[in-house]
Structure 1
Amino acid sequence: MPPTTPEPPEPSAPPPRPRPRLRLRLRYRSVAAWTAACALALLLIGLAGQWAAVREANFQADSIRRAMEVHVLGLRDSAGKYSYLPFTTGLHPEVLAALAHPQDAAVKQRANLYIEEVNRQAGSDALYLSDLQGLTLAASNWNTPQSFVGESYANRPYFRDARAGRSGLFYGLGQTTGEPGLFISAPVRPDGGAVLGVVTVKVSLRQLQEAWTFVRDPILLTDARGIVFLSSVPTWMYRATRALSPTDVEGIRRDQQYGARTDFPLLPWQLERGGDQPGYLVRTSIGGKTRRFLAVDEPLPDLGWTLTVMGDHAEVDRARERTWMLGLLVAGVLLLGGLYWQLRERRFAEQRDARRDLELRVRERTHALDEAHAFRKAMEDSLLVGMRARDLEGRITYVNPAFCEMTGYGADELLGRLPPYPYWHPDDVPRHWHHYDAMMSGQPARSGFESRLRHRDGREVITMVYTAPLIDADGRHSGWMSSVVDITEQKRAELRQRQNDEQLQHAQRLASLGEMASTLAHELNQPLMALSNFASAAKAFAEQGNQALLVSSLDETMAQAQRSAEIVRRIRGFVRQRTVGTEDCAVAALVTNVIALLQGEMRQRQVRAEVRVPATLPPVRGDRVLLEQVLLNLLSNSLQAMQATPQDQRVVEIDAEVLDGRMRIRIADHGPGIDASLAEQVFAPFFTTKAGGLGLGLNICRTIVEAHRGRLSFADRPGGGTVFTLALEISPP
């Protein structure tokens, strides 16, 4: 309101303060308040930007770890699928004959032809046989200019390991071909006796190297000395992550791991490590351009390597900058609201020019909002996760480019469509309708659900779908927003892993069945002899007319027949490769079934069992057949370990209890125990101290237990012997 003219004061009254001074004071206060508000807003925006950067770094680290799981699976598959080949090849008569008669050209030629055929069928690079001096006697490339025959590889670590009776694993350049590869060796030890020679297979990692050339961010493998031997960045090959000691250099020269190369300069990296940051930052130059990466290392102790996967750290900086921009935009909107409120309070006192200035400012702010909307749209279109929005009638209202690429249909073909949608898989239409109806009823799966889609080109796409309500600006439910993640490759990798595990488990069950063959014959022989005796007695009693004894003999005959059927049923149940699956398993029942299977062997070996497993123990969650296989292998090993123990001390002790929230099952024997020098190799594949053993039992036992999220360990038993402890999770109530 316009200022009013005050009345003249009386002569005795003090003069009033001038109004211009009051206005100036109020203006200073207003400026100070706005300055404090802006400073607070800038502080909050800065903190929000830092939070967004940390969040993006954690998300990037999680993405790197998921990608690392896939790469680790590929590495283990490349290294593991040929690990059996040297062991099985060393058992063939032609190979043993070549070792026994190294001067016989005909014998060596037959070994050459056999090894050549095995290598061709397996698809490996090379397969060759060496004597104990490291001289190659036969090889799959015997008729090529770069034949291994006659070459000596005694300096190679994989040869020294195999000659010492262990499996060998070594990556390096070939001494003859100069081509890099993974060398896997195994000793030739027929019937578990002395080592006669060494069989080695060479596996190329070229396919893995070629696959890495298409990845966006760097990936590299380093050996135990820190030397890069596989990398998606060619200029990093044969560089070191740390300075090599003279001992390391001498070892590389002696083993000729990388040919004649003995100089390994450091990688052109500048490392930055943060206290709360996952992994570490690497600043380097690629293609003449300086870049920063977030790097995460994954040790592979079974291979002796370290896998390093990197992600572009520029995404973290962009996340911080996006948050700052959004924060500034919000602050600008709030500032605009405050200015609008002030202008509204003063609208009656301002002139028309001031009102026009206000409208101009509103248009400028509206333009900024339009730019922010365009920025948000571009950000959504850059996502790798598919996004799909539907209204309350199920009509598609929005799809991003990632979803269109996932289904093969363009946005113009999907927008406005009602179910059934064109990407629904024809074999899963009822299931699609079920999830659709659940969503429309307001009950979508909170944890997401797996859905199989049909791409436009006909291929199947496995996805995980997460759905949440879509709320408009007025707080009303206007539809549903779904995020769709492509998990096709992950499902394929899981299927391959399950198939490999099932094959290994079935092989061990068959091996255990072979060890039980003589016991099974002895076990069935008793009821069969009893059947024959009772049948003869029944015939005699029938001729004599003795009805009571006849009925008694027939009852005994039926009991023995049922006993024989029960023995066969248990053996058949153990041999089956397909199992029922996960269920609640009573510990007492598991132990009882396994002891019943081994009852004949226990009588034959004159071993008695002391079982202390209360029936009141809570059940464990797992696959009953696989858990019985673990207990059977452990008990069978305990029986065999007490062969030299005096008869009155041949006792196997089995007890179970709940400790620290987990089920602990202990199997203790009174045998000689495990030599401390062999303790680290007990769970290694193909390691065995039994003549004719495959060396897979304890390795598979540990794999099964770890698949059940459990732990298998062993320790010396006080007074002599060994105690194996199986720790499993208890079934939830």
Structure 2
Amino acid sequence: MQDSIPAAEAAEPAPATPGWWRRWWRRQTPGRQDRFAMLAPLAAVVLFLAAIMSAFWYLRLEETEREQEAVQRDVEYAQQRVRLRLLERQEQLMRIARDIANKEIDPEDFMARAEAMVNQYPEMQSISWIDERRKVKASYAAPSVTPNQLFVAGEVLRPGETENIYSLARDLLQPVYSQPLPGSDGNGLLQLHVPFSDQNRFGGVIVGEYSIDGLLRYAVPADVAAKYAVALLDGRGRLIAGNSVPARAPAIKLLPWAARPVESEVPVSPVGNGLVLRAQAYRTSLGVIGSGLFWLVGALSAMTAWMLIANWRHTRRRMQAQQALVSETNFRRAMENSVLTGMRALDMQGRITYVNAAFCQMTGWTEAELVGRAPPYPYWPEADREVLTQRLDDELNGRALPGGIQMRVKRKDGSLFDARLYVSPLIDAKGHQTGWMTSMTDITEPNRIREQLSASYERFTTVLEALDASVSVAPLGSEELLFANKLYRQWFGVHTQGHLQMVAQAGVPEQPRNDESLDAVDSFAGLPTGTLTSARSENAEIFVPELGKWLEVRSRYLNWVDGRLAQMVIATDITPRRHAEEQAAAQAERAQSSSRLITMGEMASSVAHELNQPLTAITNYCNGLVSRIHGGNIQQADLLAALEKTSRQAQRAGQIIQRIRSFVKRSEPNRTLSDVTQMVNEAVELAEIELRRRNVRLSHYVAARLPRLLVDPILIEQVLVNLMKNAAESIEAAHRPAAARSVELRVIPRQEGEQPVVEFSVLDSGRGLAPEVMDRLYEAFFSTKAEGMGIGLNLCRSIVESHQGRMKAENIYNGTDVTGCRFSFWIPVSNSTNNIAGHNAGVTV
């Protein structure tokens, strides 16, 4: 840049040889000299007048262009205001449509909101709700709307422009504006149809009608409307709102610019239907005074032109050249100082000839300290000078890399930073290479970020490799394995067969479901419409024979780094947990059998007393028969009657023993559709033995027509026997009188939420449960009895919950006094017999 000014001056053509025009003038004849002397001033005047007229014409054109630009700016501003007002009304109508689609407003709420909008915004004429059958559900219109233009609730759209726009909005499912429609008062109307969907189906449209005249009146800024004649035109250029400036003939025919209109037209978006906003500037003619002033200036200019023309032209040329040179210099200097990339120029020998401000700012060295320096340069680190000297030699010989080179740069304060340099030949105006141009960019921060990303990737890989779970990622529809951690490779190798095997065994779909009936699935692409990172993962437990392990498999879909949809599978070894669950199930089975044996052990004396009666009766009958047979005084009828009574007593004793045997026998779980009444009767038969021994009265009620339950009847009987036995013990511990020693068993149907259930409840008249006991009621090995083991109620709740039921206990109050306790549990009703085998295989007792 320091050499730019001398170069410009050198480029200026050399002045002609002094005196040449004098020699030419002397060679002319005197007559020709006179003609030239006469014609020269005339030619100068004519040229001056032409210049003045051209100057007036040029200035007038510039003024017209400025006015045109002002009109253009103002009309674009007005168009933005109109567009913004249309978009605001469109957004409000879309919010109403969304509320209707979400069932948040009804026709009454719609009328209230429509009335508020129409009253608030004068350009709104009416707002209507039309359903998917073209039927008007609700409509509100301004008082100025005539009856023949109203949408009447309950009517169906008639064929016409409105029905066509309705069909277009239904097909596009996007807001659609109509063509300008004729209004009752001669002003045009504009309709906006906003469609909405009801459960992915077209649910109708919200129709808003705008007054085009009101839209122009209230949307166009007042200052624009005051300065120009603003109008709205249709697609054919016809005026539909506003006013226009009438064409006027110019005052002077010689001035054609006086009749040129100054106007601008812009389309009104987002209508997109040919509606155009036009603004025309109010113009006044120049008139006679203006024309006279023009001629006066022309005459005066003609008189003085011949005295100033030479000096003016010469001065003007020099000023233009000087201004152009200054502007060019300032522009180049501003451009060089504003760029953030460091620029350095070298000559063919490697000497620095130019550096910009960014280069000096990066290195800390000034322009005076760098320009003229030969290698090694002061910003080269001492440790890298040998390498950088070789690279500079390659650059000067044209062997620079197209992708640039990376190097360390030393600042003046001694600190270092990373930079990337790009080298290109420096070509002058004549096409000759004068050196090399180098651009330098500071890449310290990108290098630091790259190193952090690399370290983060290494940490992430280390964590995944150290996981005690197998992680694998494979794209859908391909056998390529995108990622596998160390444990996966130990189990399945580096192939994708293990990934696909786990997906198949776990029953996880290899691709997202493509069910058009589901709102969360795109029926066209077959992919979830929600973000994949928020998709619910699928869990399953599978057994892999090749590994001999039980695995818990979790899978989810994700977008891979290359944009492909992939499936990630995480498999965790749960073999120890499965073994522990199997052992816990076996322990639970043994605990339930032990509980029944303990119950029978506690009821041993009662059972013995119950068996003693039929056995004593059998003995008495047999002794009586023997005595009467020996005496010979027995008839055959008496003998048969005595034998029948003996048989009945023996059957009674056998039934008691068989019932006890089936109750305490250890067996595999067998869930069947069981009759509730039969289960209750058998449990009552067992419990009555203990209740009679404790002098407790038992009453039970079973509702009629109860559905059969999918349960193990022996386990349900065990729960009922334990609850009735505990109720009898609670009554005995409370020392209730004989009249108050009662236990009630009730079985009734009811609803638990939306699930039909059968509820079993046992009510006693004991002393109830203390609050501290209620909190620990179902804890294992917790008991309020000195001889109790504390496993009865815990097992009862486990049995009920294994049948998908729930159990609870509560005290019965009479005022503030506790008059007893109520234990209840419910079992859900099974609606199908197809799940019997699955329940039997899935529960261990």
Question: Same fold, TM exceeding 0.5?
Answer: no
TM-score category by the smaller chain? Answer: 0.3 to 0.5
TM-score by length of 1: 0.38
TM-score by length of 2: 0.34
